[in-house]
Structure 1
Amino acid sequence: MPLSSLAPSRAPSYAAVLRTRHACRTFGAALLGRLSYGMISLALMLAVKDTTGSYSAAGGVMALFGATSVSLSPARAALVDRYGPRRALPPMAGAYAALLAVLAHLTWHPGASSLLLGVLAASAGACTPPLGPVMRTLWRCLLPQRELLQRAFSLDSVAEELLFLSGPLLVGVVIGFSVPAAGVAISAVLVLVGALALVSSPAVRAIGTPSSANEAPAAQDAPRAERLLAVAGVRHAAVVAAGLGLCLGGMELLVVAFAEQHHHGATAVWVLAALSAGSAVGGLVHGAVSWRTSNRARLPVPLAGLGVALVVAGLSPDVSVLVAVVAVAGVFVAPALTTAYLVADESVGEGVRTRAGAWVNTAVNAGSTVGTALVGVLVEVLSPAVCFAVAAIPALLCSAAVWRGSGITLLPKRRDVPSSQ
């Protein structure tokens, strides 16, 4: 990115975002509910393994949970767009929390049926409330100013990163004095309390349910809403998110394999912590800059940077160098995701923004699942260094595809010379 694309930030700071009326209350409620998502994967996997005594059963149950949660995300977001958060979120959160509570009860002691647990987990995943997409839609309502919205989205991405880092740590604390099923029960309470606190916020009440006064615009947007991926901005944002997910999906496995190859398996956790720390720093810096270029123009750049950093990471001579390179790679993660959310948000009308954000969520989660599976196969036959380079390919290809599809150029357009005729 050329230096001319940057400008000193004269816009309000992150503090101005949080000082916005109702912002702290609304954001805090959403984060409380989303903390459940940071805990549930590890807690449920350990709980199912404990009750069945089978890792394969735990993997199967988690696959069902993830499949319904990811694949039905746009449909759940469509319900929010159609009926409003106050009507759509409480039933979803209530059903999700109730199913998690049943799963916690069944897995508290050994002997639960794997089949029953799979059905319940798939049902719970289908009901997962889209708190992240809803919060990003609310940011748009709270902060119409472009610079403030950019900061809000960056802050949201960094906070989400920290939630998914702290969630497993909280599960570790819980199982230190109880059983993993307690973590599932706590996840149920968190999502229910967070969702209800979110819909009780004055910011959500101000949106309310689509009224007859604006049903006409919503109806006009309906055909477009069913073909959101035909909208160039949403499609490009989803491609970038998918490329990001493919890269990051196998990162944990690659880091562990690299550390074990260098006889420092225990240091893998520090490499992953460096990735999260780099992402947090990158997200905050990205949000604080007043960019002269548009979000669409910057969309493929962080993903390309991540791809290059992953190639370099595979060339690391030891774990200490890998920590530093992975931290640099992390700097591109939050900016890539934040920009994808911003592009999707600004590419659609008022009635489909939650759905547009949900498509980005779906793309990154689906990409992560596929990336984990592919790396799991490749790491058995290739060295970690080669696997890092292979993991970089989706980022570079997706970045190039979006760059080409957007018709982006860093050179000024040539002016036509008037004809002498």
Structure 2
Amino acid sequence: MLRTPGAWSFLLPGFAARQPFAMLTIGIVLLVEHTTGSYGTAGAVAAVTGVSMALFAPQSGKLADRLGQAAVLVPGVLVHGASVALLTALALADAPLWALFAAAVPAGASVPQVGPMVRARWTTALDPASADPSSARPASADTGSAGGASAGTAAAGTGDPDGRSRKRSPLLATAAAFESVTDEFTFVVGPVLATALCTSVHPAGGLVAEAVLTVTGGLLFAAQRRTQPPPHRTARGGRGASAAGGAEGPTAGRKRPVSALSVPGVRVLAVVFLGIGSVFGGMQVSLTAFTEEIGQPGLNGLLYGTFAAGNMLAGLACGAIAWRGSARRRLLTAYAVLALATSFLWAPGAPLPLAALGLLVGLCIAPAMITGYTLVESLVPASARTEAFTWLTGAVALGQATAVTASGRLADTFGASAGFTVPLAGTALALAVAVTLRGRLLPAHAGRTVTGGLHHRTPVTVD
């Protein structure tokens, strides 16, 4: 996979530009807690950035699908760098809480969605036909004839969301696992780096480093235009489109953009990833409070790095295994084990057993995340995949923001152990939703496509 032409040109700068997701929350928590003395206040400010990211990330992904990644990324990283600098200055100046909230909104909204963009680039590099907007031929173009019916039925059996009969690259699943490993490696490096800078150099050192890495890496990543997916702009067809579809008028041949959130499976996956975000947020704040309680704040980065290392190791294993079972079954199984593992986090009172449990929880997260991202390939057409990936990334950010706030309040009131109950609650609720709505995680084209007869020009999916 790594021998794919052009891969390293976007992987290396992309790694630097992904640091906000790993460093921003913990950097805000450490800085604001230092200036205010409250984990609840620090968690609230961090939560504002997470909610802003969750709300704006899908819009960023949608624009990247339509306009191109560079057009969205360049202004985004510049706004992010300026916003983080403003937030840092306000925190150090003991500004009122409303001012910190006001600066946290653009800081979160402008977090560059480099992870989803890299995933979209892998799809383009490994499966170029799925990313080429000009190569798709609707299965309904020949409906009304026996040949059209056969084509529609054959296309439905390929598992291809764009309706083309072809074989998908087996390296796509490997790329999904590799991206999960890369994400988790940033969670190994990012929190440790941010904590070390905040505790050893300056309380604002983590945020300053995050802003510098984001701007530098983001601009270098945006410069790699050869590997970015082609834009999927809304197009108006000509005579051919009118003749094929039989439609006339001003809207003939117009291709309406597909929203990723209109796919039921994406909505279920968003809930699943909300639960995963609750684990990230709950662990960050609760581990920080725990190390403060025992008088060893420097252990925070090491404990969180152990948790992230488990996630990374599990991602490596998932990428090396040729899975035969269904992705939906793997997702539900991995998520059930994750919810079970989080139920023990509140109990340990010493660093060593807590590190072991954190490692176990990390080992359980990667299979669920990787399978969720893999399901996007079969649920969503190429024209909306970056948006779909950003919905999932935004769901993680929203779950993280909610968990940071809840864990901070619980840690302030009842102690660090109470904060560890938030990951359990988040994963348990998300698991219940996923099990109840598991039927929506099957592609809509998994059934038989029936066409034929005059005046029936649109394929109908029959379960």
Q: Normalising by structure 2, what TM-score?
A: 0.70
Describe how 1:29-178 pairs up with structure 2 within 5 A: 29-48=13-32, 58-106=42-90, 110-112=93-95, 114-144=97-127, 146-175=169-198, 178=201
Provide, for residues 255-290 of structure 1, a one-character-per-residue CA deviation record: whole Å limited to 9, x for no partner: 678899999999776654442222111111111111
The worse-fitting range, judged by mean Cα deviation, of 56-65 and 22-31 is: 56-65
Query: What's the CA shift for 1:34?
Result: 1.0
Counterpart of 2:320 in structure 1: which amino acid? A
User: Which has more helix, going by share of residues?
Assistant: 1
Q: Name the CA shift for 1:184/1:143 in 2 (closer, same or farther; >3 Å).
A: same
| Coordinate RMSD, CA, aligned | 3.9
The worse-fitting range, judged by mean Cα deviation, of 255-264 and 135-144 is: 255-264
Do the aligned residues in 2 keep the contact of 1:133 with 1:358 (CA within 8 Å)? yes
SS in 1 for 2:193: helix
SS in 1 for 2:5: coil
Indicate which of 197, 204, 222 corresponds to 1:181: 204
Q: Name the CA shift for 1:122/1:300 in 2 (closer, same or farther; >3 Å).
A: same
SS in 2 for 1:128: coil
Q: Tell me, yes or no, if structure 1 residue 242 matches structure 2 residue 274.
A: yes
Q: What residue is the counterpart of 1:275 in the other structure?
A: 307
Q: Name the CA shift for 1:340/1:214 in 2 (closer, same or farther; >3 Å).
A: farther
SS in 2 for 1:293: coil
SS in 1 for 2:380: coil
Aligned partners of 1:133 and 1:36: how far apart in 2? 14
SS in 1 for 2:93: coil
Aligned partners of 2:197 and 2:333: how far apart in 1? 40
Q: Tell me, yes or no, if structure 1 residue 195 matches structure 2 residue 218.
A: yes
Aligned partners of 2:371 and 2:215: how far apart in 1? 29
Q: What residue is the counterpart of 2:320 in the other structure?
A: 288
Do the aligned residues in 1 keep the contact of 2:178 with 2:315 (CA within 8 Å)? yes
Query: What's the CA shift for 1:404?
Result: 5.4
Describe how 1:11-22 pairs up with structure 2 within 5 A: 17-22=1-6
Percent of aligned pairs with the same residue?
29
Q: Name the CA shift for 1:185/1:235 in 2 (closer, same or farther; >3 Å).
A: same
Provide, for residues 63-91 of structure 1, a one-character-per-residue CA deviation record: whole Å limited to 9, x for no partner: 33222122221112111112111212111
Describe how 1:216-365 pairs up with structure 2 within 5 A: 220-222=255-257, 224-225=258-259, 228-252=260-284, 272-311=304-343, 320=352, 323-365=355-397
Q: Normalising by structure 1, what TM-score?
A: 0.77
Do the aligned residues in 2 keep the contact of 1:175 with 1:183 (CA within 8 Å)? yes
Q: Name the CA shift for 1:260/1:402 in 2 (closer, same or farther; >3 Å).
A: farther
Do the aligned residues in 2 keep the contact of 1:282 with 1:331 (CA within 8 Å)? yes
Q: What residue is the counterpart of 1:25 in the other structure?
A: 9
Do the aligned residues in 2 keep the contact of 1:81 with 1:352 (CA within 8 Å)? yes
Query: What's the CA shift for 1:243?
Result: 2.5
SS in 2 for 1:291: coil
Do the aligned residues in 2 keep the contact of 1:253 with 1:375 (CA within 8 Å)? yes
The worse-fitting range, judged by mean Cα deviation, of 258-267 and 312-321 is: 258-267
Larger radius of gyration: 2
Number of residue equivalences: 387
Counterpart of 1:43 in structure 2: which amino acid? G
Do the aligned residues in 1 keep the contact of 2:47 with 2:402 (CA within 8 Å)? no
